[in-house]
Structure 1
Amino acid sequence: MTAIRQESLQGHVEEVVLAQPRGFCAGVDRAIEIVERALAKFGAPIYVRHEIVHNTYVVNDLKTKGAIFIEELSDVPPGATLVFSAHGVSQAVRAEARERGFEVFDATCPLVTKVHVEVAKLRREGYDFIMIGHKGHPEVEGTMGQLTEGIHLVEDVADVAGVQVPDESRIAVVTQTTLSVDDAAEILRAVKQRFPLVREPKKQDICYATQNRQDAVKVLSGEVDIVIVVGSPTSSNSNRLREVAQRLGTASYMVDSADEIEAAWFEDRPRVGLTAGASAPELLVDAVIARLKELGALSVRKMPGVEEHIEFPLPKGLGDKAMAEAGVTAAPRPH
């Protein structure tokens, strides 16, 4: 029996429904462009602290163009050009980069920078902090690293009980930007119950793209039999999308590429929902659609949803004017 015939017995896809929005957010788009413009202006190699965004394809593509990804600044040679990843870095990393004399371009997502600014401002006013997030995630390390003391990480409701602060009337809460909206809300309720005077951000820390993609998956899950999320295992927001669908009772899988798709997933599940994390490029979505067509999909339709038109400015020295003055033609920014 041929492989195609075996697949047809395992699962047969009839329809693909695309979530809207999905894929790249403005912060990811900006971060990748910063590396590409730095390569165009200064030439290879360009050093990047940590993966610029958490997507295997994007990182490997930039490696082929001359980006070198490192974790320790001691691995960067003197006089090199260095880019901070979209997740942000601690004050200690910034200080070390200055001391070593690197040419630095900061690709930290402006929404993460907003959290950093808020932490610094309120610390000067005498506040301690609770940070809701995942231990070890680079964004969490960067945000907690804005201070040398007075910031406490909570990963779940149980952690809230262990937080001790010197003044319960001077405590504020911040959140990793890529969390599950529902999980963060549950933990925040526990924080407010334990610390009734806690100061919340003026605007929710969870970013617009994370919120929009999770909202879209909630709608998508009710219309399909299975949800496929395109995203890398290290991507927090991609993992959260899969969890959102799973919690709503819809089978869900996350794939780094179309090659990971298994025909058996679609047995008695002909309607497939498809989305992508904020760090996953659309060409990976296109490859998954092609794979699903091989499995029988006859129609592909896009759900109505939020249209995102947000753009963030590039750092000084990499804008169009600076590139033109350097005699470098920059590729137009995608929308």
Structure 2
Amino acid sequence: MERRKQSRKARTMQAPSPKLPLELLIAAPRGFCAGVDRAIRIVELAIEKYGPPVYVRHEIVHNKFVVDRLKAIGAIFVEELDAVPDGKPVVFSAHGVPKSVPATAEQRGLDYLDATCPLVSKVHRQAERLVGAGRHIVFIGHAGHPEVIGTFGQVPAGAMTLIETVEDAEVFAPSDPANLAFLTQTTLSVDDTAEVVRTLQQRFPTIQAPHGEDICYATSNRQAAVKAIAAACDAMLVIGAPNSSNSLRLVEVARREGIPAELIQRATDLDWGFLDGVGTLGITAGASAPELLVRELVDRLSERFDVTEREEETTRETVAFKLPRGLEAAA
């Protein structure tokens, strides 16, 4: 009898404790935008058309999972054209490239496909027109980002000045203050950029604004979706790469709304301690993070918590971009 009591007691002690409840509030829109989807498809179709390997200059989009998957089917990623062998096709990343890059590819006789996001290309064409009209461009963006490098490479040296912060805008001293225009990187913080623009417009009332908003629809929509759910969340996780500008901006937006927020690349990067005391967790994903990674995170959270999930949609995206002419038939 005593042994049976001890056995029952042992089984009771080993019984798993009930999972704590965790509500997931998932932002929408999130994840892939039309430009990212197009760029990835271009690489996939190029591999189908030419056969592996197909070279890609720079990460096609800033996401390790995406890059690794494309490597597995025959993409080779390089930083410069020097690493592309003669006779091999090459794809230019969604962030855009300086004019010198396709010029070099043509000189070498390389087949190339330009996966630059059409919204980035729009900024490139605006830059050319403004410089052609004799205006000096104030470009709002982050130094060293591939999109910034690509945009500066559309115009002659000295035709653009990079402004990163309000402080930069306050001390900017152009040689011809009456003949300015501004453009912006497509993946910036909407709120931060508005402050920089306001400062520039106060200092230089005749500065010419771009035709339409340069910050892309996907960046704006994802930031608005984070703001929409932030007040109902105790914390937020953003799925994205540490070199992804739009993903980093989502973390900043959440923190500015007053909640703890962290960037993770995959569910395996999750620090369980971050969830201590969290009853409602917000989840979103940067524009280069696939939905598969969101589901992976939800599954991992379900291992430790009694999860319920709810999606909060602020707008529905229907944008789609055409493929380059050479790949339309392959698609």
Normalised-by-shorter TM-score class: over 0.9
Displaced runs of 4+ in structure 1, greater than 4 A? none
Determine the C-alpha separation between the residues in 2 that align with 1:154 and 1:287: 38
- Find the counterpart in structure 2 of residue 47 from structure 1: 55
Partner SS, residue 318 of structure 1: helix
How much does 1:167 deviate? Answer: 2.2
Preserved contact between residue 129 and residue 173 of structure 1 (Cα < 8 Å): yes
1:137 and 2:137 are equivalent in the alignment: no
- Find the counterpart in structure 1 of residue 204 from structure 2: 195
Preserved contact between residue 13 and residue 292 of structure 1 (Cα < 8 Å): no
How much does 1:47 deviate? Answer: 0.7
User: 1:113 pairs with 121, 126, 138, which one?
Assistant: 121
Mapping of residues 151-300 of structure 1, within 5 Å: 151-300=160-309
How much does 1:166 deviate? Answer: 3.3
Deviates more, 1:159-168 or 1:214-223: 159-168
Partner SS, residue 129 of structure 1: strand
When normalised by structure 1's length, the TM-score is 0.91
Preserved contact between residue 123 and residue 214 of structure 2 (Cα < 8 Å): yes
Determine the C-alpha separation between the residues in 2 that align with 1:59 and 1:94: 22
Preserved contact between residue 34 and residue 318 of structure 1 (Cα < 8 Å): yes
User: 2:36 pairs with 22, 28, 53, which one?
Assistant: 28
Determine the C-alpha separation between the residues in 2 that align with 1:203 and 1:243: 24
Residue-by-residue CA offset, 1:267-324 (whole Å, 9 max, x unaligned): 11111111000000000000000011112133111113211111000001101xx22x
- Find the counterpart in structure 1 of residue 110 from structure 2: 102
- Find the counterpart in structure 2 of residue 82 from structure 1: 90
Determine the C-alpha separation between the residues in 2 that align with 1:125 and 1:258: 50
How much does 1:12 deviate? Answer: 4.2
How much does 1:180 deviate? Answer: 0.4
Deviates more, 1:12-21 or 1:283-292: 12-21
- Find the counterpart in structure 1 of residue 133 from structure 2: 125
Determine the C-alpha separation between the residues in 1 that align with 2:304 and 2:249: 27
Bigger Rg over Cα: 2
Partner SS, residue 237 of structure 1: helix
Preserved contact between residue 224 and residue 314 of structure 2 (Cα < 8 Å): no
Partner SS, residue 139 of structure 1: helix
Determine the C-alpha separation between the residues in 2 that align with 1:143 and 1:295: 46
1:305 and 2:314 are equivalent in the alignment: yes
Partner SS, residue 182 of structure 2: strand
Unaligned runs of 5+ in 2: 1-13
Residue-by-residue CA offset, 1:89-138 (whole Å, 9 max, x unaligned): 01121211111111111100000000000000111110110000000000
How much does 1:18 deviate? Answer: 0.7
Unaligned runs of 5+ in 1: 324-329, 331-335
The verdict on how the C-alpha distance between 1:100 and 1:297 changes in structure 2, with shifts beyond 3 A counting, is: farther
Determine the C-alpha separation between the residues in 1 that align with 2:17 and 2:43: 43
Deviates more, 1:178-187 or 1:293-302: 293-302
CA RMSD in angstroms comes to 1.6
Determine the C-alpha separation between the residues in 1 that align with 2:59 and 2:229: 30
Identity of aligned residues (%): 49
